[in-house]
Structure 1
Amino acid sequence: MLCTPYCVPAAAMASPTFPDHCFIRYDHHHHHDHKDLRRWRIRTTTAATSASASAYPLFSNQIQLTKDSSSRHKFYQEALKTARDKFTREISIQSKDKDISLAKALLYVAAEDEAFMAFNQEMDTRSLLNERRNVSSPSDTKEWDSVEQMPLGGKTISEWLSELDAIAKEVEAELVSRDIGCHLVEVLEAVNLVLFELRGFKRSPVLVDSKHSYLHSILSSGCGSAILLSIIYIEVCRRLGLTIVGSRVGGDFLIWPQTGYPEELFKVTSGHSLFAIVNGRCVEDPRSMASDLTGTSLLGLEIATNRDIIGIALANLIRLHWKRASRSNHGLMLTSPLRHVHNADEKPNKIDKSNVPLLRPQDLRLAIMASERLLILQPHNWALRRDHGMMLYYNREYGKAVQELSICMAFAPEEEAEILEPFVEKLHLMRLELSWKSLGHAGRLAVP
């Protein structure tokens, strides 16, 4: 089923010791010139280091780990920037929407998030090694020259794109084996057979695992969010020369082949309409708005652009990572602090650092990263910018939060700006107070 819910709303080193067989003769130095003395020091230092590495195996490992970690640390930082730059170029407003690759854009999203999580894991490993000598260093020290070479679930970005090519070739092989022409119905039936029967793709009922929201993970496991399954469907059909379009319908996202005769999509053959073949049971579910669609009403739907579809996937990522980040604060809403500050009758009517709930930092940062990408697509979306500013507030990035929320007030409706204004003012004052304390000043300011 390809309908999708849409919701817009992270060394302690051992001291080197000299080997027992190395004797230091103070009286011997006076009979050597400076060159001999320098040679002696080099031999002594080399022997001492060798003995220390032998006596403490982690000594040499930690040195190597520091070098490897530093190199990987640099790569991850570069990967974060490169992946974001490539995503930005892919969805650039200068590009024609039809030329945007949904798969490439979302694989760059995955690459940036993977690099961020790998960076965090690397930092955790380094901290652990500094605290406990008996922890062995990572055995995989392979480095990559570019984001394209960085493995995502064991494959590179180009290899995942080739996986979509392979699925399309399987569909072609299925059509050849049937010895039939390329009639629209047969092509779609072959696509469904390969994706949902032979390869076993299925929709995840509840999105709790972030792996179900990344394209490469779904191509690997076969289980994921409905919007990403729709994207896979679109990408496979594109490789077959068939254009698939889509639109939001209530809480679902529906897709269908582009045709000048939409009424043909609703003709029932073999017990199902072509529209149902593509979108699954949601079309026949009386609880879904899709069940009321006809060839006429289909023409009235607004076709989603490629940028819109990418935006839906990013919005789902924000929702997922925020839910995971706030797991210990069940029901926490991004906008809750705004209402408390705006309403003078509610307590507490102030914000301070101690009132900000603790959230899972990695998931919160991933939600912020997804929000940053979505803002590239929708820079004038005031609600999105408000939510982004609130996530920065929860992440205790008060300066950035003030900046984003101030920009939001310029685009927001008047009634929303009135709610934001007192919160931004108090957040600005709190930021000034914290910056004053960071300079070593305590207590209140006194006027001389």
Structure 2
Amino acid sequence: MAETPSHDNPQQHIYTDFASLVAQDDAAIDLAHAALLIAKLAYPDLDICHHQAQLDALARRVRGILGLSTAQPTPHNAPLELDPEDLLQALNQVLFEEEHFTGNVGDYNNPDNSYLNRVLEEHSGIPITLSLLYMEVARRAGLRLEGVGLPFHFVIRCQLGEETMYIDAFHQGQLLSQHECLEMVRRIAHRPLKLNRHWFKPVSSKQLLGRILNNLKRIYLDRDAYESGLAIYNLILLLQPQSAPDRRARGLLHLHLKHYGRALHDLNAYREMAPEAEDRYEILNYIKIIRQTIAMLN
């Protein structure tokens, strides 16, 4: 496990909680809780319990439509006999017909689209956060679904009888076949693409969280919002501490922000993780400059 960042005291509890959460077995990770911890970096007053309760309430409405107990399912009361298609229809009714959740096409790169609290408040988001919302409400209603990280888009995999279908939460729960998913990816890419069956492999909880964090990282760095980008890198390296590219990138970001000691720590760690990297001499030069700067400051 990477060290938990300690230099930013107001955010320390977020890093600590996130590190504890993602240290669990992947299947045990509470995705909604983890996503709300990510959002808490931008919204320090966020009440995680309040937003978890919103998800619970949506699931109760779904179960109510089907005439099921509105208690949250447990291994003892989960509706094992329920037709998944009926549950999907009830999910779509609550989330899209009644609550009007929709893809934020007009302001796609707004970082709020990646924060689950804001998705719940604004009823809009990007494919991955709307998929996360859909999966978390479905899980609370009694159906476990899997996320699929297609190129340029995120969908949900569901087994309907002998047929595997894909749910597009960004487009009001539209059901797609594998071929229709490929056609959608081709339209988004504006070029012909060959089918890669690996695209349709379900993502792990950590991979899903990593995709959310990478979206935020890109948005903040594109906006030169370096402090916000640094906070996201801290979470990325708690999630995947052995990622040499992210260690390098955080070190250079620390250097840009004149955090010389932390830049030195990260770039030395990168050298150890990737001793034969093509940029090793460039990194050695950065390290030399940082050490000279620190010496002059002292």
TM range (shorter): 0.7 to 0.9
Match of 1:415 in 2: 278
The match for 1:113 among 28, 31, 42 is 42
2:270 partner SS: helix
Amino acid at match of 1:373: L
Long gaps (5+) in structure 2: 1-7, 69-80, 167-172
Q: Deviation of residue 307 (structure 1)?
A: 1.3
Alignment of 1:2-401 (within 5 A): 80-92=11-23, 95-115=24-44, 151-152=45-46, 156-176=47-67, 182-205=82-105, 206-257=107-158, 261=162, 263-265=163-165, 275-276=175-176, 284-285=183-184, 286-287=186-187, 297=197, 301-324=200-223, 326=224, 363-401=225-263
Moved more, 217-226 or 79-88: 79-88
1:418 and 1:79 map into 2 onto residues whose CA distance is: 36
Whether contact under 8 Å (1:375, 1:384) holds in the other structure is yes
Q: Deviation of residue 392 (structure 1)?
A: 0.8
Amino acid at match of 2:254: L
Match of 2:290 in 1: 427
2:294 and 2:161 map into 1 onto residues whose CA distance is: 58
Q: Deviation of residue 384 (structure 1)?
A: 0.8
1:217 and 1:192 map into 2 onto residues whose CA distance is: 20
Amino acid at match of 1:380: Q
1:318 and 1:112 map into 2 onto residues whose CA distance is: 13
Moved more, 424-433 or 98-107: 424-433
1:251-273 CA distance string (max 9 Å, x none): 33332125784x4438xxxxxx9
Q: Alpha carbons of 1:259 and 1:402: their partners in 2 closer, same or farther (altered >3 Å)? A: farther
Q: Deviation of residue 229 (structure 1)?
A: 0.9
1:225-270 CA distance string (max 9 Å, x none): 2211111111111112211112322233332125784x4438xxxx
Q: Alpha carbons of 1:176 and 1:91: their partners in 2 closer, same or farther (altered >3 Å)? A: same
2:219 and 2:20 map into 1 onto residues whose CA distance is: 25
Amino acid at match of 1:187: L
2:206 and 2:161 map into 1 onto residues whose CA distance is: 23
Whether contact under 8 Å (2:32, 2:132) holds in the other structure is yes
Whether contact under 8 Å (2:128, 2:154) holds in the other structure is yes
2:229 partner SS: helix
Q: Deviation of residue 424 (structure 1)?
A: 2.5
1:203 and 1:283 map into 2 onto residues whose CA distance is: 19
1:210 and 1:240 map into 2 onto residues whose CA distance is: 29
Q: Deviation of residue 276 (structure 1)?
A: 1.6
2:156 and 2:164 map into 1 onto residues whose CA distance is: 15
The match for 2:265 among 369, 378, 403 is 403
2:66 partner SS: helix
2:118 and 2:253 map into 1 onto residues whose CA distance is: 26
Q: Give the alignment's TM-score, normalised by structure 1.
A: 0.54
1:303 partner SS: coil
Amino acid at match of 1:405: L
**Residue-pair matches, total:** 267
Q: Deviation of residue 274 (structure 1)?
A: 7.7
Whether contact under 8 Å (2:113, 2:124) holds in the other structure is yes
Q: Deviation of residue 379 (structure 1)?
A: 0.8
Q: Name the structure where strand makes up a greater proportion of residues.
A: 2
| Cα RMSD after superposing both structures | 3.1
Q: Alpha carbons of 1:183 and 1:293: their partners in 2 closer, same or farther (altered >3 Å)? A: farther
2:252 and 2:155 map into 1 onto residues whose CA distance is: 31
1:86-122 CA distance string (max 9 Å, x none): 2221111xx221111111112122223323xxxxxxx
Long gaps (5+) in structure 1: 1-76, 116-150, 267-272, 327-362, 437-448
